Amino acid sequence: MRHERNTFGVLALLAFFSASYWQSAHAQLQWETTEQRVTVTPHETQATVSYVFTNAGDYPLSIRSIKVPKGFKAVRPQKSTYRSGESGRIQLVGDIGHRWGKFPYQFTVRTDENDSPDYELKLQLEIAYPLSMKTRRVSWRVGDAIEPKTIDIKVKTSRPIKIFTPLVERRPVAKPDRFVKPHPNNPNRAKSKDSSKQQADGSTRQPKPDPFFKYELKVVEEGRRYQLIITPKSTEQPARSLIKLVSDLPNERGFELAITASVRPKPKPVKPSSEKQESASQQQKLSEPTRQPEAADQP
């Protein structure tokens, strides 16, 4: 009798541990994909991505939390507990802001599973650059002829983009006192030149005319193709300006494309190879110690 009780107790313990192991082994979320690549256009203000899952276990499973990086938020699911075989969706929304390029993100979904409650979801977000151009820099040398240079700008997105008159922000090159007005309270601190600062009525303050360059924005095809023509007013001394093109994109701060125009100093003259070798031999002779003549032996 006692032997039968012991046998029954051992069998009950084995059944309990087997059930626990079976539950922990089969209580899991299966995802359609845990890695996604999403490309958004500049006209979009937000990026939305969804991850679909299914409870492949044999008992209900609950989602406890969803950890998202800065700039993203998780849309609350319709329910937090999913029965065996039931599917759900996790939707994540991120702000695009004033950025262009590729950005990796990682999200963590935590469940009430015993062994592996965390699931890692990955996202490669690409914010397409809206314009196409061969260069963003134009330059002249001191003493060059005053001739205009043209930058062709093409809109790559399917929707048109309207580009406005360029705004200019000057930057110092050789003599800071000639390009940046000192701050009245601190001579070493320059005044901030925010060309897009708004007035009380919401209008944009127009910057002062650029003393170094002239600009002309030519509309080849409205919303699709533009030409920015830049001409220096003088090439007698170095100069530099930062040109910003503002568009009608619906981003929070608007789209600003920076183009640099500069008058660079003349390059230093390059010595011929023969002069370089002669100069190097002279330096080598000067660096060698002077040898004194040896005294003759006395008889």
Res. 248: pLDDT tops 60 = yes
- The rounded percent of the chain whose pLDDT value lies above 70 is 64
pLDDT digit string, tens, across residues 186-221: 444 444 344 444 433 333 445 567 889 998 999 999
263-280 pLDDT, tens digit per residue, is 999 888 776 666 656 666
Q: In this predicted structure, what is the pLDDT of residue 146? A: 95
Residue 236 has pLDDT above 70, yes or no: yes
Percent of residues, the chain, with pLDDT higher than 90? 35
Q: How far apart are CA 172 and CA 288, in angstroms?
A: 45
- Which two tokens mark 7? 């046998």
DSSP output for the chain: -HHHHHHHHHHHHHHHHHHHHHHHHH--EEES-SEEEEEE-TT-SEEEEEEEEEE-SSS-EEEEEEE--TTEEEEPPS-SEE-TT-EEEEEEEEE--S--EEEEEEEEEEES-SS--EEEEEEEEEE---EE-S-SEEEEETT-----EEEEEEE-SSS---B-PPEEEE--SS-HHHHSPBPSS-TTSBPP--TT-B-TTSPBPPPPPPSSEEEEEEEEETTTEEEEEEEES--SS-EEEEEEEEB---SSS--EEEEEEEEEPPPPPPPPHHHHHHHHHHHHHHHSPPPPPPPPPP-
Domain 131-264 has CATH 3.50.50.60: no
Residue with tokens 């406890």: 64
Q: What does the alpha-carbon distance between residue 42 and residue 161 come to, in Å, rounded to a whole number?
A: 10
- Decide: pTM greater than 0.75: no
User: What residues does each domain of the chain span?
Assistant: 26-127, 131-264
Q: Is the pLDDT confidence value at 184 over 60?
A: no
The yes-or-no answer to whether 26-127 and 131-264 have a common fold is: yes
CATH superfamily of 26-127: Immunoglobulins (2.60.40.10)
pLDDT of 247 over the 60 cut: yes
| Max Cα distance, the chain (Å) | 132
How high is the pLDDT of residue 206?
56
Mind listing the pLDDT tens digit for each residue in 43-78?
778 899 999 999 998 889 899 999 999 889 998 888
Place of tokens 């701050």: 183
